[in-house]
């Protein structure tokens, strides 16, 4: 439980950090706002087609009598909307980080600098870092799509699909959000996707404590825009905990270096 509270604490510290640094907070909202406009249009269009999608996916229920047809498809419509929000929350962060890559990297460096000591650098060019970010975002999208299909299928299970599955979806969302937001600070430390997952899984409660409040708050689109700069700052502070940089004897990350992976056989990550 201590790690759970610590994760939430890093999120709050990140928000306080950008609140004291108005310039970082203001500019940090621009990439999130650009991404939000595109996502809002896509979600509005998708929700208008929800009934058609559910009817197409459940042709076996066409002959059901009332009220069972309405109840069944209504429950699936709610679940479908929840899955779409699950996908949107996770991919929104990934796309926003790609759009604002140079800025968020500078923000993360500023947080490290304010904590004292050396500021880690990946040794890669901006374009190399963007390419790694795109590649990892694609890997993330594949995993998110698989989880989304699984949750949608489990939604057909009576009782469980309307109770346990939404809770599980929020926990998975929380972990993905933490994984994405820590990517900038960990990439500068030479830690790529596969090793990043291992590090976060070793501190699951810390990851959930940071990501769960965000997964709930990001349900409100404008809130996501306002919180994104502080989320990146908080994730940098969380990374310093993961790598032991805030301890008396810092522990170096054990992952493959970003430069080595980029210069090697394209450093492909597992999905």
Angle, nearest 10°, between helix axes 193-201 and 204-217?
100
First-to-last alpha carbon distance for the chain, in angstroms, is 29
Using CA atoms, how far apart are residues 79 and 195, in angstroms rounded to an integer? 33
Q: Is 27 contained in some domain?
A: yes
pLDDT digits (tens, 9 = 90+) for 176-205: 889 989 988 998 888 888 888 899 999 999
Q: Is 217 contained in some domain?
A: yes
Using CA atoms, how far apart are residues 201 and 162, in angstroms rounded to an integer? 27
Is 213 within 8 Å of 8 (Cβ atoms)?
yes
pLDDT digits (tens, 9 = 90+) for 120-131: 876 767 677 778
Distance of CA 109 to the CA centre of its chain: 20
What's the confidence (pLDDT) of residue 27? 81
Which of 84, 170, 179 is closest to 133 using CA atoms? 179
Q: Is 84 contained in some domain?
A: yes
Which domain range does residue 94 map to? 2-263
What pTM was computed for the model? 0.74
What's the confidence (pLDDT) of residue 206? 93
Q: Is 56 contained in some domain?
A: yes
| Upstream peptide bond of 90 is cis (omega within 30 degrees of 0) | no
Please, where are the H alpha helices in the chain?
Answer: 2-20, 22-48, 50-57, 68-99, 101-114, 126-154, 160-181, 183-188, 193-201, 204-217, 221-242, 258-263
Which of 168, 253, 261, 251 is closest to 215 using CA atoms? 168
Total domain count, the chain: 1
Is 124 within 8 Å of 132 (Cβ atoms)?
yes
What radius of gyration, in Å, describes the C-alpha atoms of the chain? 20
Neighbour tally for 60: CB within 10 Å: 7
Q: Is 270 contained in some domain?
A: no
Distance of CA 221 to the CA centre of its chain: 14
What's the confidence (pLDDT) of residue 265? 38
Q: Is 86 contained in some domain?
A: yes
Is 185 within 8 Å of 233 (Cβ atoms)?
no
Q: Is 271 contained in some domain?
A: no
101 token code pair: 């890559």
- Which parts of the chain have pLDDT scores under 50? 248-257, 261-271
Using CA atoms, how far apart are residues 222 and 231, in angstroms rounded to an integer? 14
Q: Is 63 contained in some domain?
A: yes
């Amino acid at each position: 439980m201590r790690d759970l509270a610590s994760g939430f604490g890093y999120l709050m510290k990140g928000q306080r950090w950008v609140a004291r640094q108005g310039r970082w907070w203001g500019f940090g909202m621009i990439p999130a706002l650009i991404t939000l406009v595109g996502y809002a249009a896509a979600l509005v269009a998708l929700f208008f087609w929800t009934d058609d999608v559910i009817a197409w996916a459940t042709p076996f229920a066409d002959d059901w009598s009332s009220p069972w047809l309405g109840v069944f498809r209504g429950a699936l419509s709610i679940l479908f909307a929840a899955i779409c929000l699950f996908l949107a929350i996770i991919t929104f962060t990934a796309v926003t980080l790609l759009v604002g890559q140079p800025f968020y990297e500078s923000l993360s460096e500023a947080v490290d600098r304010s904590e004292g000591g050396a500021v880690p650098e990946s040794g890669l060019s901006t374009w190399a870092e963007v390419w790694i970010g795109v590649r990892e975002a694609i890997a993330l999208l594949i995993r998110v799509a698989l989880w989304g299909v699984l949750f949608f299928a489990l939604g057909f299970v009576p009782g469980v699909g309307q109770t346990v599955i939404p809770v599980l979806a929020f926990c998975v969302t929380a972990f993905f959000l933490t994984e994405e937001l820590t990517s900038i600070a960990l990439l500068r430390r030479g830690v790529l996707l596969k090793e990043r997952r291992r590090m976060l899984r070793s501190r699951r409660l810390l990851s959930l404590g940071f990501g769960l409040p965000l997964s709930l708050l990001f349900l409100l689109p404008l809130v996501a825009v306002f919180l994104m700069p502080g989320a990146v700052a908080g994730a940098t502070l969380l990374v310093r905990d993961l790598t032991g940089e805030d301890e008396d004897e810092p522990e170096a990350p054990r992952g493959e270096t970003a430069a080595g992976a980029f210069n090697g056989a394209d450093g492909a990550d597992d999905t």
